[in-house]
Homo-oligomer: A and B are copies of this chain.
């Protein structure tokens, strides 16, 4: 019902292509457009053209030939089945598949998108936005279903915990990839209830750096990650996408080295040797070093300057100068990150991944390294360099005195204290953690919701100016919008707005969650209220992401996925590392970092290392136990899958061989009747020729004879006593 009304209000439009020609000359634009129309028509898509904003055309696409589309759906499902993603082969009546209940909006959009973008050799239109022949094709996007969106946001804003049916709905609308993000965030949010309560209690009772909190938090991290793995699997079965990673499309930029014929299937395979890729992947090691060096040096330098200015320097201008390192960081970290991201992307392209999925996942891993450094290094520096070694390091900070030299009145103001004379600020760590877990989250939230708005306004302004300048030069420019037919005007206005919106990248949102989880697992022992802050943040986050998708972004094209991909590894890694940092922090700051006399406590190397050793191995032991426990508990999804696959085969068997193929008892009855004759047959056949073997088997003709012979032998051989006993 909902999809129908949605389609109706969208004039049955499936996809919209925004064709922008401001930068192209006229003839080229027209030829390109004609080619686009032809390509789309060739794959059975019907089109309507209207003018867009600012030197652009809007091409409305819907399925022209239902038969052709049904065939596409069927092909896609057969392919799934061939690769083992679907348990049962799809129904043969192709027409049924699109009228049937089981075609979700997401599947429809995914298949149409595939039809538009896949190469002509594979039966698609081969339209690739912003590339080659199609450089004027700015974007291809489905239209928002405003009725659903409104209901969705309304529903979510009134409920605390989402049910799996709510996730199903997202999956049906936006595809599995987006649904996995919401599923993970929801799962994480639900799991946060416990550490939030426990964290609050331990903040009241135990205070910071409590080993008890560290232990409980570590245990919780393990269970969260392991449980999510299981849930992920369950969802992939529920959504019918298990193993879908295996049938992703080839990347356009993939360069094969040789072609071989698969010896079994006879298909031609394009091969790029895995060993060659592995050797190229080794470049990641120097890249990681480069990233650590570049970003690490930057962050450490700014950190040094900050300490120097805030805790050593005491001349004039201090209140202003302390903002210098923050300013430096704000400007330089994004610059460095962008540069390093470019390097990472190059590296990733050089690795020549075969599918878009594997490409993306490899890139994600590289970007995680950068994220890790920028997100956690400042706290790591404070906790593991500043606090324990502060009084040793600070005297060397005078190299930074040039930052304050112009303002200093005398040398004394710039003088670093002698080794030992400097007293560290023990609250610095906590302040920093609070900054990252509260302030930064709020700032981030603001950036996420407000920045796109500003960007959008700016962009639309820019486009307007561009087309105005075009208009000045003689084109009709934005003026043609007035041609809209009244009954379409409202609709076209909406579509033009959506055409200007940003593209939604779910990976960004996922990354945010994973980085947040990292703060919790690595540093929440410093400030046990961290999970409380996160649970509030995530309730809002889940809803604001929904709003973001509905209002601030183009409707995402549904993609399939059977996992949150490489982020899972990141989660595992962070949970593991957390067992080390939490233990180290709990030991280093056992009395807020102060010894009994108020000065920094003497840290015993062996005690620190022993704490870490025990904590880490406890973590690994618990993880092992939790994994076994979870693997032993059968999950509904796995059961369903097993059962389905079994049933498909069984049904097939009964179709081809009849109901009773596996029933032995009934056959047993038959056999009983003919046993004697069968045995006789066997004996007869062995008697046909004569030899020791035939003689051997012919001594006793039936089992009764064998039994008799045996009884006689027993009689003869058995101790007589036994007989007497009777």
Contact indicator B697/A262 (Cβ below 8 Å):
no
Contact indicator B81/A649 (Cβ below 8 Å):
yes
Contact indicator A37/B671 (Cβ below 8 Å):
no
Interface string of A402-429 (1 = CB under 8 A from B): 0000000000000000000000000000
Given A26-B718, A65-B678, A92-B657: A696 and B475 interface contact (C-beta under 8 Å): no
Given A41-B703, A264-B640, A664-B122: A632 and B274 interface contact (C-beta under 8 Å): yes
Residues of B within 8 A of A223 (CB): none
Set B11, B122, B264, B719: member contacting A696, Cβ < 8 A: B11
- How many whole Å from A120's CB to the nearest CB in chain B? 9
Tell me whether A334 is interfacial, beta carbon within 8 Å.
no
Set B11, B40, B274: member contacting A697, Cβ < 8 A: B11
- Given A41-B703, A48-B700, 11 more A-B residue pairs with CB atoms under 8 Å apart are A21-B714, A25-B725, A46-B697, A51-B713, A81-B649, A82-B649, A123-B667, A474-B719, A476-B716, A491-B696, A606-B608
Tell me whether A130 is interfacial, beta carbon within 8 Å.
no
Contact indicator B89/A710 (Cβ below 8 Å):
no
Interface string of A1-31 (1 = CB under 8 A from B): 0000000100110000001011011110110
Interface residues of A in 481-525 (CB under 8 A from B): 485, 487-488, 491
Tell me whether A147 is interfacial, beta carbon within 8 Å.
no
Set B11, B64, B653, B726: member contacting A26, Cβ < 8 A: B726
Residues of B within 8 A of A22 (CB): 718-719
Q: Which of A189-197, A382-390, A609-617 contacts B (4 or more CB under 8 A)?
A: A609-617
Q: CB-nearest residue of chain B relative to A271?
A: B634
A-B contact pairs, 8 of them (CB 8 A): A12-B686, A21-B714, A26-B714, A29-B718, A44-B671, A47-B706, A57-B714, A59-B706
Interface residues of A in 81-138 (CB under 8 A from B): 81-84, 89, 92, 121-123
- How many whole Å from A122's CB to the nearest CB in chain B? 7
Tell me whether A290 is interfacial, beta carbon within 8 Å.
no
Residues of B within 8 A of A657 (CB): 92
How many of A's residues come within 8 Å of B, CB to CB?
138
Which A residues are closer than 8 A to B by beta carbons? 8, 11-12, 19, 21-22, 24-27, 29-30, 33-34, 37-38, 40-42, 44, 46-49, 51, 55, 57, 59-60, 62-68, 71, 75, 78-79, 81-84, 89, 92, 121-123, 262-265, 274-275, 277-278, 467, 469-470, 473-477, 480, 485, 487-488, 491, 604-606, 608-610, 612-613, 629, 632-634, 639-640, 643-647, 649-650, 652-653, 656-657, 661-662, 664-665, 667-668, 671-672, 675, 678-679, 681-683, 686, 692-693, 695-697, 699-700, 702-704, 706-707, 709-711, 713-723, 725-726
Residues of B within 8 A of A700 (CB): 47-49
Set B633, B643, B714: member contacting A275, Cβ < 8 A: B633
Q: CB-nearest residue of chain B relative to A8?
A: B693
Contact indicator A721/B33 (Cβ below 8 Å):
no
Residues of B within 8 A of A682 (CB): 46, 63-66
Contact indicator A473/B721 (Cβ below 8 Å):
yes
Contact indicator A78/B647 (Cβ below 8 Å):
no
- How many whole Å from A372's CB to the nearest CB in chain B? 16
Contact indicator A78/B473 (Cβ below 8 Å):
no
Given A33-B711, A40-B703: A475 and B717 interface contact (C-beta under 8 Å): yes
Complex Cα distance, B473 from A277, in Å, reads 81
Residues of B within 8 A of A640 (CB): 264
Q: CB-nearest residue of chain B relative to A41?
A: B703
Contact indicator A692/B488 (Cβ below 8 Å):
yes
Residues of B within 8 A of A485 (CB): 695
Contact indicator A722/B613 (Cβ below 8 Å):
no
Contact indicator B650/A715 (Cβ below 8 Å):
no
Q: CB-nearest residue of chain B relative to A31?
A: B711
Q: CB-nearest residue of chain B relative to A66?
A: B682
Q: CB-nearest residue of chain B relative to A677?
A: B65
Complex Cα distance, B604 from A388, in Å, reads 20
- How many whole Å from A653's CB to the nearest CB in chain B? 7
Residues of B within 8 A of A721 (CB): 470, 473-474
Given A26-B722, A55-B718, A609-B610: A38 and B264 interface contact (C-beta under 8 Å): no
Contact indicator B277/A632 (Cβ below 8 Å):
yes
Residues of B within 8 A of A122 (CB): 664
Set B8, B46, B63, B263: member contacting A683, Cβ < 8 A: B46
Residues of B within 8 A of A720 (CB): 473-475
Residues of B within 8 A of A82 (CB): 646, 649-650, 653
Residues of B within 8 A of A19 (CB): 710
Contact indicator B722/A57 (Cβ below 8 Å):
no
Complex Cα distance, B719 from A639, in Å, reads 63
Contact indicator A48/B718 (Cβ below 8 Å):
no
Contact indicator A707/B672 (Cβ below 8 Å):
no
